[in-house]
Chain A
Amino acid sequence: NAGVTQTPKFQVLKTGQSMTLQCAQDMNHNSMYWYRQDPGMGLRLIYYSASEGTTDKGEVPNGYNVSRLNKREFSLRLESAAPSQTSVYFCASSESGVEAGNTIYFGEGSWLTVV
């Protein structure tokens, strides 16, 4: 079972370049999320999509855009990368809202370095 798959796993960008992180889940989940992980700061939510066709800002949305392409796919775009966006990015999904106790399943992470 693939679960949550995100690509690329590693990427180096120059400041000002753009790129898109791709994420797909095969569990027929309604909700999808993008988090970033930085040392000593845990995971912070960038954007989430409660269901197909909707997206909402999380804690740290500045500098990012997202697209919920269909139920399976949720992409994260950096339009003009900055060194402060060097981080590990995690895509995740859940059957529906976490208030109901639904488990969030994580991808394996994408290591992004902006130089």
Chain B
Amino acid sequence: GEDVEQSLFLSVREGDSSVINCTYTDSSSTYLYWYKQEPGAGLQLLTYIFSNMDMKQDQRLTVLLNKKDKHLSLRIADTQTGDSAIYFCAETGGGNKLTFGTGTQLKVEL
């Protein structure tokens, strides 16, 4: 079955880098995603990575994929207060749908 796990909380200081981790179990996942949810809002796609890639960089965001260990991470460089949100990883392993992780609440402190 599919199971996607994340740590629930992360606190960083403004200007530092944030690293949010995710582990998944379905090795057939073709795409893995990172979504951001701000308070009281829906989820917005941040970035995604195809399963045959190890790394993807998009401005301040770096996604690393270790397919052997089924480990996905999202690094946010120079974290700002506007980055405070809940971050969800998701995988496509279960057919025509996404399976989401539990979400990591990122708190950015001044």
Minimum CB–CB distance from A49 to chain B (whole Å) comes to 10
Across the interface, A90 reaches (CB within 8 A) one of B4, B31, B42, B99, namely B42
Number of A-B contacts (CB under 8 A): 60
Interface size class of B (residues with CB under 8 A): 20 to 34
Contact B101 A42 (CB under 8 A): yes
Q: Which of A13-21, A62-70, A72-80, A102-110 is the contact stretch?
A: A102-110
Q: Please, how many angstroms separate the alpha-carbon atoms of A104 and B31 in the complex? A: 12
Q: Does A27 contact B (CB under 8 A)?
A: no
> Does A53 make an interface contact (CB < 8 A)?
no
Q: Which of A1-49 contact B (CB under 8 A)?
A: 4, 31, 33, 35, 40-45, 48
By a CB distance below 8 angstroms, the chain B residues around A81 are none
Contact A101 B48 (CB under 8 A): yes
A106 and B42 within 8 A (CB)? yes
Task: Report the minimum CB–CB distance from A25 to chain B (whole Å).
Answer: 12
Once the chains bind, are B42 and A99 in contact (CB under 8 Å)?
no
CB–CB B102/A42 < 8 A: yes
* Residue pair A101, B100 in contact (C-beta under 8 Å): no
Extra contacts besides A48-B96, A97-B95 (14): CB < 8 Å:
A35-B100, A40-B102, A42-B100, A44-B100, A48-B97, A90-B43, A97-B96, A101-B30, A101-B50, A101-B92, A103-B48, A104-B45, A106-B43, A109-B42
B residues in contact (CB < 8 Å) with A: 4, 6, 8, 30-31, 40-45, 48, 50, 88, 92, 95-103
